[in-house]
Amino acid sequence: MLFHFSPSRSHEVALKLLNGFRGSLQSDGYGAYQTLQGKMSDITPFYCWAHVRRKFVESIEVNPAQAAWYIAEIQKLYRVETRAREENLSVEVRGERRREESQPVLAGIKARLDRDLGSEDILPSSPLGKAIRYALSLWPGLIRYAEEGSEVVEIDNNITENAIRPTAVGKKNWLFIGHPNAGQTSAIIYTIVENCRMWDIDPMEYLRDVLPRVMDHPANRVGELLPRAWAERRVGR
């Protein structure tokens, strides 16, 4: 897991960060990520159903019946994922479940989206109208997780969302990060701490061991000090 700081939200930041990357990219529908599709042909975009669901939840006060239908159908998709985790299914079997159970639900959602898009009862500028257009604009990347070959991809990017939540809360409290260099320093610290958590390491124990040694450690072997390698070495003792 890597945190990166930039004072800009331009797609150029993501383009530079992902330069040379090939593979799957899961994100919300922020326009900068969509722009990458036209500039990086080796990236396969996957979008987040949690963000889609949130849009419909926000519209339930204005259009309760229609929004509730979408929320209930999205919940069916999540039940498939929950059962797969509870049954400890392999990614291959989880993919089969998705094709058998999730794809019909997705087809039903798409049909309803297309129908509601032209409905005179739903204003385009209303929260529900915006939720419908948001989902349709991302649709190929929303259903891709349930297609063959995408078994390892999750239905949403909540793992990442949960990891960055402390920074989001922090931004509201701090208001300002100060100098941009301070932002990048914070990103490095978050990267270290979250990787420690990922590998079930006490961050303070890790830092107490690594920091006194890092200056004398050979630069070409810095990978030995990363949390994953550190954890594996401790287990092997």
176 or 133, higher pLDDT = 133
Say how far apart CA 15 and CA 189 lie, in whole Å.
23
- Assigned token pair, 96: 């089969």
3-state helix, strand, coil in the chain (%, to 5): 70, 5, 30
Domain ranges across the chain: 49-156, 159-236
Question: For 173-224, how does the pLDDT look when each residue is reduced to its tens digit (9 = 90+)?
Answer: 665 666 667 777 878 888 888 889 888 999 999 999 998 888 888 888 888 8
Instruction: Based on DSSP, count helices (H) and strands (E) in the chain, helices before strands.
Output: 12, 2
Reported pTM: 0.70
Residue type, 161: E
| Three-class DSSP labels, 14-50 | HHHHCCCCCEEEEECCCHHHHHHHHHCCCEEEEECHH
Question: For 137-174, how does the pLDDT look when each residue is reduced to its tens digit (9 = 90+)?
Answer: 999 999 999 999 999 999 998 877 777 666 666 666 66
Return the H-helix or E-strand segment holding 11: helix 11-17
Say how far apart CA 226 and CA 210 lie, in whole Å.
9
- Assigned token pair, 232: 């594996």
Write the Ramachandran bin of 24: left for phi over 0, alpha for psi from -120 to 50, otherwise beta: beta
Q: What's the rounded mean pLDDT across residues 69-88?
A: 97
Cα 163 to its chain centre, rounded Å, is 10
Beta-carbon contacts of residue 15 (< 8 Å; ≥ 6 apart):
36, 39, 40
With bands split at pLDDT 50, 70 and 90, how would you rate the model's confidence at 127?
A: very high
